[in-house]
Amino acid sequence: MATPEFILELRKRVGHDPLWLMGVTGVVLDAADRILLHR
């Protein structure tokens, strides 16, 4: 996976300082509490 362009632009400005990036993870369950998986 290539590095997104916005990360490359941030790196030009902040160098090797830590980047605070937000992320989200979710799990979708059906009525029988089975996990919905998608590939």
Return the pLDDT at 1: 79
Distances (CA, A) of 12 to 7, 15, 20, 34: 9, 6, 15, 44
- Regions of the chain where pLDDT drops below 50: none
29 three-class SS: strand
Exposure of 10 by Cβ count < 10 A (0-12 exposed, 13-18 middle, 19+ buried)? middle
CB 33 within 8 A of CB 27: no
Alpha-carbon torsion angle 27, 35, 28, 20, nearest 10:
20
Return the pLDDT at 7: 93
